[in-house]
C-alpha cells in the first residue's frame, strides 16, 4: 500500500510540475520563483468597485470547511468579519492544486492567500505579509507503533524520531511550494546528511498528508504545530512532538502592489474588534478541541463527509424535478429554515421550505406534512415561478434570481420592480444593478405610486439580500466534492 501511495503522489507531482511553471525542480528549489506571468495590479479601490474579496485557501479544519451547510474555519471567520467591515462580499476559492497558489495570487485569480501560511524570508521577496495572526513551530508528523496504547511510554518513545539526525535518509512527504520543503533542505545542511524529501501532489492538501501518515500509507510529513496538534485529536495514533524549526509567524499574503489592501488588513488585525475576533476564533478552532472534533468528523462536514444536511436525499430527488443543482436548492433551504423542519416564522410560514399556509394548501400540504412533502411542495411552487418567469426572462441564469426573489417576496412585487426598471431605462431582464435595485425602490412612495406599479409598497431589501445570501452560500457549497 505504501508503494502505491508513493507512486500516486509522485505521478501527481509530475503533473503539477508541468502546470506549475513558477516552481523550480524538486531537489534544487531553495525558494519560490516569481511567476512568469505579468503581475496584476488590483488594490483595495478596485476590489471595492468589484464588490468582493477573493480568498485563495484550502479545505482544512483550520482554514475553511463546511459543517451542516454553514461555512466555518479560523481564516474564514476572520476574513468574513474583515470583509463586512469593508462592505465587501467574501468569495472563497478552494485550491484544487496547492502548488498553484502563489501563481493564482500574482495572476489576479485571487486577492489574498489564507491557509496557515508561514512567513519566511524567501516568501517576503514574492508576497507582502500581513501582521502575524499567530505563531507556531514546524513539527514532524509520525505514526506511533501498532498497539501503542498498550505499550509503555518508554517503548513508544524509543520508536519515534526525537533528534533531527534521525531524519537522515527518511521519506518525508511535503508540498514543494511549502515552507516545510525549504526547511527540510536546511535541516539537510544542518545534519550533513540527505533527507529523501518527496514532493506531494498539489491536489492532496496538508491535512490529507497527515491522514495518510495516520493510516500508515506514508511514513512522515511536516505540519505547523497548531495544525498538527489539532489533527492529533482526530488521529491519536500520530505524534507531533518533534520540532524541526523555531517559532514562526503565520499570516495572510497579498500581492506586493496591494498596498492599500495590506494596510486595511493590518489596521483591522490590530484593532480592538480584530483582536477580539482573533482571540475568539483561536479558542473556537484551536482550543475547544471537543467541539472542533465533532464538527470536522461529522458526516455533514466537507472534511470527512459528503453531506450538507439530514435531508440531502430528498433535496437531490426534488432538484432533478426542478432541474437545479441540488446544492442550489440546499442553499435556499438553509436560508429558509437552517434545515430545521420545525421552523415557524412570525407570519406563519412553516417547515424546511417555509411555505405560507395558503401556498402550502395550494400544493396539497399543511403543517403536519413530512419534511419530504414540504420540500416537494416548495419545489412545486418553484416550478410554478419558473413557468411564470420563463418568457419574461429568457436567460436561465438571470431567471434564477427572479425566481428566488419571487419566492421570498412574491412574483407581483418583482414584476413591479421589472416595470420600474423599464421606466428608469434599466435592463428589465438583468437582476444585479438593474431589477434588484428597482426592488429596493419599492419602499419609496415616489416609485410604489407609479402607474406601472400594481402591487404597492414593498420592503424590497429583504428579498434583495435573500438572493445575495443564497448565491453566496451556493458558492460555498460548490467547493464540496460531492
CATH of the domain at 408: 1.10.530.10
Q: Is 336 a catalytic residue?
A: yes
Same domain, 279 and 185: no
Taking Cα atoms as reference points, which of 142, 220, 189, 174 lies closest to residue 26?
174
How far apart CA 113 and CA 122 sit, in angstroms, is 16
Q: What is the CATH number of the domain that holds 72?
A: 3.40.190.10
Supply the DSSP symbol for 64. Answer: B
Q: Is residue 370 included in any domain, yes or no?
A: yes
Domain assignment of residue 8, yes or no: no
DSSP assignment of 330-391, as one string?
HHHHHHHHTT-TT-B-TTS-BTTTTB-HHHHHHTT--TTS-HHHHHHHHHHHHHHHHHHHHT
Q: How much helix, strand and coil, in percent to the nearest 5, is found in the chain?
A: 50, 15, 35
Q: What is the 3-state secondary structure of 194-206? A: CCEEEECCCCCCH
In a shared domain, residues 224 and 95: no
For residue 311, give the 3-state DSSP assignment.
coil
Q: Which domain holds residue 142?
A: 138-245
Residue 149 near residue 135 (C-beta atoms within 8 A):
no
Q: How many CB atoms lie within 10 A of CB 316?
A: 14
Asked whether residue 130 falls in the same domain as residue 143, the answer is: no
Q: How far is CA 455 from CA 138, 339, 349, 354, 435, in A?
A: 63, 31, 21, 22, 16
User: What is the predicted pLDDT for the residue at 13?
Assistant: 42
**Does residue 264 share a domain with residue 237?**
no
Query: What does the DSSP assignment read for 186-230?
Result: HHHHHHTS--EEEEPPTTS-HHHHHHHHHTTSSSEEEEEHHHHHH
Do 391 and 431 reside in the same domain of the chain? Answer: yes
Tell me, yes or no, whether 324 and 276 share the same domain: no
* DSSP per-residue letters across 30-44: SSPPPPSSPPP---H
Active-site choice (77, 176, 318, 336): 336
The residue behind cell 495516520 is 214
- Distance (Å) of CA 223 to CA 48, 373, 429: 35, 47, 51
Name residue, grid cell 485529536: 233
288 and 204 belong to one structural domain? no
Please check whether residue 303 lies inside any domain of the structure.
no
Establish if 13 belongs to a structural domain. Answer: no
Query: 176 and 55 in one domain?
Result: no
Domain count for the chain = 3
pLDDT in tens, the chain (482 residues): 444 444 444 444 443 433 333 333 333 434 445 445 566 889 999 999 999 999 999 988 889 999 999 999 999 999 999 999 999 999 999 988 878 899 999 999 999 999 989 999 889 999 999 999 999 999 999 999 999 989 999 999 999 999 999 999 999 999 988 899 999 999 999 999 999 999 998 888 888 999 999 999 999 999 999 999 999 988 999 999 999 999 999 999 999 999 999 999 999 999 999 999 999 999 999 999 889 989 988 989 988 878 999 999 999 999 999 999 999 999 999 999 999 999 999 989 999 999 999 999 999 999 999 999 999 999 999 999 999 999 999 999 999 999 999 999 999 999 999 999 999 999 999 999 999 999 999 999 999 999 999 999 999 999 999 999 999 999 999 888 66
Residue 176: the pLDDT is 86
Q: Is there a contact between 191 and 44 (Cβ–Cβ < 8 Å)?
A: no
Amino acid at each position: 500500500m505504501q508503494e502505491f501511495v508513493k507512486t500516486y503522489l509522485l505521478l501527481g507531482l509530475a503533473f503539477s510540475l508541468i502546470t506549475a511553471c513558477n516552481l523550480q525542480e524538486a531537489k534544487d528549489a531553495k525558494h519560490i520563483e516569481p511567476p512568469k506571468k505579468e503581475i496584476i495590479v488590483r488594490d483595495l479601490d478596485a476590489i471595492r468597485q468589484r464588490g468582493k474579496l477573493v480568498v485563495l485557501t484550502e479545505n482544512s479544519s483550520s482554514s475553511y470547511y463546511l459543517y451542516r451547510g454553514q461555512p466555518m474555519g479560523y481564516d474564514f471567520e476572520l476574513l468574513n468579519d474583515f470583509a463586512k467591515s469593508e462592505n465587501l462580499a467574501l468569495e472563497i476559492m478552494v485550491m484544487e492544486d496547492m502548488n498553484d497558489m502563489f501563481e493564482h495570487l500574482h495572476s489576479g485569480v485571487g486577492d489574498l492567500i489564507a491557509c496557515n501560511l508561514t512567513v519566511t524570508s524567501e516568501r517576503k521577496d514574492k508576497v507582502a505579509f500581513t501582521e502575524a495572526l499567530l505563531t507556531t513551530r514546524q513539527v514532524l508528523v509520525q505514526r506511533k507503533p501498532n498497539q501503542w496504547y498498550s505499550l509503555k511510554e518508554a517503548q513508544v518513545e524509543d520508536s519515534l524520531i526525537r533528534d533531527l539526525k534521525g531524519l537522515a535518509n527518511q521519506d518525508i512527504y511535503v508540498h514543494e511550494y511549502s515552507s516545510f520543503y525549504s526547511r527540510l533542505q536546511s535541516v539537510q545542511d544542518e545534519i550533513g546528511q540527505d533527507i529523501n524529501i518527496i514532493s506531494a501532489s498539489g491536489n492532496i492538501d496538508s491535512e490529507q498528508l497527515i491522514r495518510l501518515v495516520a493510516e500508515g500509507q506514508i511514513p512522515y510529513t511536516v505540519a505547523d504545530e497548531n495544525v498538527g496538534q489539532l489533527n492529533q485529536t482526530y488521529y491519536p495514533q500520530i505524534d507531533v512532538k518533534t520540532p524541526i524549526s523555531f517559532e514562526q509567524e503565520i499570516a495572510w499574503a497579498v500581492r506586493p502592489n496591494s498596498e492599500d489592501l495590506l494596510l486595511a488588513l493590518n489596521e483591522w488585525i490590530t484593532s480592538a474588534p480584530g483582536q477580539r475576533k482573533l482571540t475568539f476564533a483561536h479558542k473556537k478552532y484551536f482550543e475547544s478541541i471537543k467541539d472542533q472534533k465533532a464538527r470536522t468528523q461529522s458526516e455533514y462536514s466537507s472534511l470527512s463527509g459528503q453531506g450538507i444536511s439530514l435531508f440531502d436525499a430528498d433535496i437531490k430527488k426534488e432538484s432533478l424535478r426542478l432541474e437545479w443543482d441540488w446544492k442550489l436548492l440546499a442553499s435556499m433551504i438553509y436560508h429558509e429554515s437552517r434545515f430545521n423542519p420545525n421552523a415557524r416564522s412570525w407570519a406563519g410560514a412553516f417547515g424546511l421550505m417555509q411555505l405560507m399556509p395558503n401556498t402550502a394548501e395550494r400544493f396539497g400540504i399543511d403543517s403536519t406534512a413530512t419534511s419530504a412533502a414540504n420540500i416537494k411542495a416548495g419545489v412545486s411552487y418553484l416550478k410554478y415561478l419558473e413557468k411564470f418567469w420563463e418568457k419574461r426572462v429568457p436567460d436561465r441564469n438571470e431567471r434564477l434570481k427572479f425566481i428566488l426573489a419571487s419566492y421570498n417576496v412574491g412574483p407581483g412585487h418583482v414584476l413591479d420592480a421589472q416595470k420600474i426598471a423599464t421606466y428608469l431605462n434599466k435592463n428589465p431582464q438583468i437582476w444585479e444593478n438593474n431589477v434588484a435595485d428597482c426592488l429596493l425602490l419599492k419602499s419609496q412612495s415616489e416609485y410604489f405610486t407609479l402607474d406601472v406599479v400594481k402591487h404597492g409598497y414593498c420592503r424590497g431589501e429583504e428579498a434583495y439580500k435573500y438572493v445575495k445570501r443564497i448565491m453566496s452560500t451556493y458558492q460555498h457549497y460548490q467547493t464540496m466534492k460531492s
